[in-house]
Structures are given as C-alpha cells and as structure tokens.
Chains A and B, each alone.
Chain A
Amino acid sequence: MSKIIIVGGGECGARAAFALREQGFNGDITLIGAEPHLPYERPPLSKTGLASAAPPQYVAGPARYEEARITILTGVPVDTVDRQSKLVRLSDGRKFPYDQLLLATGARPRPFAGVSGDPGLGRICMLRNHGDAVAIHEALAPGKSLAVVGGGFIGLEIAATARKLGAEVLLIESSPRVLSRGVPAEIAKVVTERHRQEGVNILCGEQITSIATENDKVQILFANGTTRLADIVVVGIGVIPNVELAEAAGLLIDNGIAVDATLRTSDPDIFAAGDCCSFPLSHYRERRVRLEAWRNAQDQGMLVAANLLGRGLAIASVPWFWSDQYELTLQIAGLSDGAATTVRRDLDQGAFILFHLDGEDRLIAASGIGPGNAVARDIRLAEMLIAAKRRLDPEALASPKTNLKKLLAA
C-alpha cells in the first residue's frame, strides 16, 4: 500500500493530511512534527495566545486524526531524508519508508545577530510557537517594560497585546516606517497612529547594535550611542525557511525549498508546501515568491494533497494576508509592488481600501484597513478580481457606490 510521509506538524502539514483522505487516498499517512503538540494555528499566538497563554487552538482534536487514519508523531524532529532508499530517519533513530514525501517544515524566527548575554533567562525572546507565547505572557505584567524589535505584523501584534496586558511598550524599527514590506505607507500611518494613541512608543529608522542581558534588565544599544533598558525584549525581524533537511538531501533551494507550480521539488517524489517553499506565482508573471501566511499554508496544504495524488494542479491563488491590532483589521490581497496607479475607496467608520493597478488598469493588489470586518468583503472581492485579471476603471473602484461583486460578474 502506498505510503505518504508529511514532515512538519503545522497548519500546512495537517491540512494536507486531512485533504489526502478527503480526496480519496487510502494508503498510509504519517505526519511527523517536532513540537510536542498536535498541529495548531499560529495566528492566535501573537493575539489571544499571548494575552491569555490559553492552550493552543488545534487544527483538529485527536479523534479526527484517528477517524482519518492519520498516524501522528509529535515531539520528534526528522534527522535525515534518504532519497535513494526513500527513508525518513527520526532523531530517535526510527526509520520510516515513503513512496511520496511532503516537506511542510515551516520557518523559524530570524535571530538578531547582536544578542549577547543569556537568552535562556527568558528576557530576550522570539515568538513562533506556543511555548514562546506562554513565556512572553508570563514575563509581561502591568508596569513591566517590553521592547519589541521589528515593526512588521508580528512585532506590532505583540505590541498591541502587550498594551492590553498593561505593559509599557517601546517598538523599534530600523526602516523609516513600520510595515515597510508589502503594506502601503497610508495604511502603515493609520497603524502607527493607533499604536501611539494606545501609548506605544514607536521609534523608526533606528539601528540597534546590540541587545544584552544586564542584571535583571535587558540593555539595547543603538548605533547612535544611546541605550534603552527593558524588562523583556522580543525580536520579530522576520523568519528563515527551514530548508536544512531538504538541502542535506540535495534538493534545489532558492529562498526556500524550490518547487514548481504544482509544489513538486527537484525530486519528483518529494513535494514542499507552506512557509518553507518558494514557488512561481502565475498572476505575477511567474515571479518566484515565498509566502509566510496562514492562508497560503492552508491553500497549499490542500493543493499539494491533490498533487500527491497525481492531479498536477498549478497554484492559482492570490496571496492574502491579514493582521489584527486593537479593533483594527488590516487585509491585503495580491502584491502591490510594481503598481502604476493606486486609488483610494473610503468606507464607513474610517475604513478605506487602496486598489493597486498595473499600467493596463488590471487590479494587482488591494490593501485595506478598518475596524472589525469593515474591509473584508471588498478585499475578498478584490482578490477574485485580481485572479480574473480584469481590466477596471480606477474611478469606478474609488467610488464606494460601485458594487465590486457586479464588476466581477460583468
């Protein structure tokens, strides 16, 4: 009977495992995760996870794995993939044969090179897993001071949650503004203002030389010679794809495990999906990208399941990201760099959407922000308009009276 092994117990690996069964696979499915938990959702870690240190939000309970006949091994890293013998060897010495292998190994936080002292004291942290969220939660309390290094989604979400817990928050970003990667300045400005209203001290354009523990504090030294002290520092400066296993097995690497449009690696019996892989994006002239996003992990998990079963489907989804901070939700569909025109559509409650079009008036991205789900419906429709490669009138997009659903149907 055919055996499929999935390495990586995150959202992507778990979705792929269930999708294999849903799509009719009858062979053996083994899901191997390095973390001690069953697969859980990572987006809550910087929000409710950090706010309450609640148990992880599992993708599925143990009974569902049993029903789906998915063998799940947790708390055990994979050491090597032997492509000649088609064997996966675990760190505890066990070996498992495979007919097809899926690498959904995810990514890990990029460490800050200038950290010194003992990070084991729990005062210099990064956030990727449930244990990290619990550790940061326990270190935060009213009156404690937190410094966040990095003004991306993770850093800002941590800052918002820490303010809710009553901590004093300093956020340091080396670029001239927060959210400098993929988020328009107009939206970053709203986010910055909202954080400042909440009392977050945001410093942009500041280079940090070193972060070091010093007695019961952490000292941050800036390139301009000044220093700041905090009780706890969280570093959120991006992630590194976990490619080591694939690299050691001789697979092609290119900003992640390189896969084709069907998520197949340079070995025809091995696929990769989620944060760990880079792939060509058909809506953006086959540009190779690696996406670090929940929706991508989920979509690719389901797509790769179909392709493990020989369906040969190409990735057709449009990148989609979201972030929650305070009452605000920011959503982005598509990639906005390279836009020739941007028009703004104002909605109720101060919400707005920026539509980004190319030189031929095709929608390539839409970025929106507002309270609650104020922008959700229009961003979802924008995502479909991007996929449809529809040429659109920028003025019509700017008018809130224009029904995007009708544009899609036109």
Chain B
Amino acid sequence: MSQGWVEVCGVDDIDEEDLIRFDHDGRTFAVYRSSDGGYYATDGLCTHEQIHLADGLVMDEIIECPKHNGRFNYKTGEAMGAPVCVNLKTYPAKVEAGTVFIAIS
C-alpha cells in the first residue's frame, strides 16, 4: 500500500552525481542526484551483504557498494554482475519547491 510522498531533503543536500542515506519508518533508502539534475531512489542496502550503499561511489548511472563493489544501475535497480545478482527496488522521486520527495510503497 502506498504511503504517498515522503520528504527527504533539500535539493542541494545531495551533491551532483552523489547520493545520501535516508531512513524512514524503520527502513533505509538511498536517494541519488544524477549529473543531469534528476533525482532517484532505491532501497538503501546492497542485496549482497546488506551494506549501506550511501557510503558507496556513484559514477555515471551506477552505484557501487563500498564493501565488495557490487554494482547497480540506480535508475533501474538492475544488478550489474558479481557479486550481486538480486536487483534493488526503486522508488519514484520528485522535486517540489526545492525539496526532494520519494514515494515509498
């Protein structure tokens, strides 16, 4: 069931081509700002060993886990090869009046 849009942060709280960790209601998410100014959201933990992705590195459209370099396309959630094989869930993100929101389902 959709909980609707949840406020995450201000648009400038995430650097360009970077991400932040966002915890809400006992769950953890990763929220991204792409180099072309888009905002995206995925589950916050790597599907390999449940490490927080927010400490990882974003390059192009890829988030790489800080621990074992598991890689995902953060726009689609697709796992990009070993050691990860389970995709990340993605969530819609939007900006309104300088604030980033994500839709948590």
Contacts and interface: CB of A to CB of B under 8 A. Distances in A.
A373 B67 contact: yes
Given A295-B69, A372-B55, A405-B59, A380 B83 contact: no
Interface in A351-392: 372-374, 376-377, 380-381
A302 B69 CA distance: 14
Contacts of B66: 373, 376-377, 380
A373 B69 contact: no
Contacts of A329: 67
B82 A302 contact: yes
B82 A377 contact: no
A271 interface: no
Interface in A272-313: 294-295, 298, 302
A373 B59 contact: no
Given A373-B67, A380-B69, A381-B57, A15 B82 contact: yes
B57 A377 contact: yes
Interface string A1-45: 000000000000001001100100000000000000000010000
Interface string B34-64: 0000000000000000011001110100001
A373 B82 contact: no
A210 B52 CA distance: 45
A322 B49 CA distance: 15
A311 B2 CA distance: 48
B3 to A, nearest CB: 29
Nearest to B51: A373
Interface string A58-78: 011000100000000000000
A302 B66 CA distance: 20
Task: State the majority secondary structure of interface residues on A.
Answer: helix
A377 B59 CA distance: 11
B52 A298 contact: no
B74 to A, nearest CB: 15
A18 B82 contact: yes
Contacts of A59: 83
Given A372-B55, A373-B51, A373-B55, A380 B82 contact: no
Contacts of B64: 380
Contacts of B67: 322, 329, 373, 376
B56 A376 contact: yes
A315 B52 CA distance: 30
A382 to B, nearest CB: 11
Contacts of A22: 81
B55 A298 contact: no
Nearest to A43: B68
A294 B48 CA distance: 15
B83 to A, nearest CB: 7
A377 B64 CA distance: 9
A377 B83 contact: no
A377 B55 contact: yes
Interface centre among A329, A372, A376 (most CB of B within 10 A): A376
Contacts of A377: 55-57, 66
A3 B85 CA distance: 26
Contacts of A374: 55
Given A302-B82, A373-B51, A380-B57, 15 more contacts: A18-B82, A19-B82, A22-B81, A41-B83, A60-B85, A294-B68, A295-B68, A372-B55, A373-B66, A376-B66, A377-B57, A380-B69, A405-B17, A405-B57, A405-B59
Nearest first, the 7 A-B pairs at minimum CB distance are: A376-B66, A373-B55, A373-B66, A377-B57, A380-B57, A376-B55, A15-B82
5 contacts: A18-B82, A376-B55, A376-B56, A377-B56, A380-B69
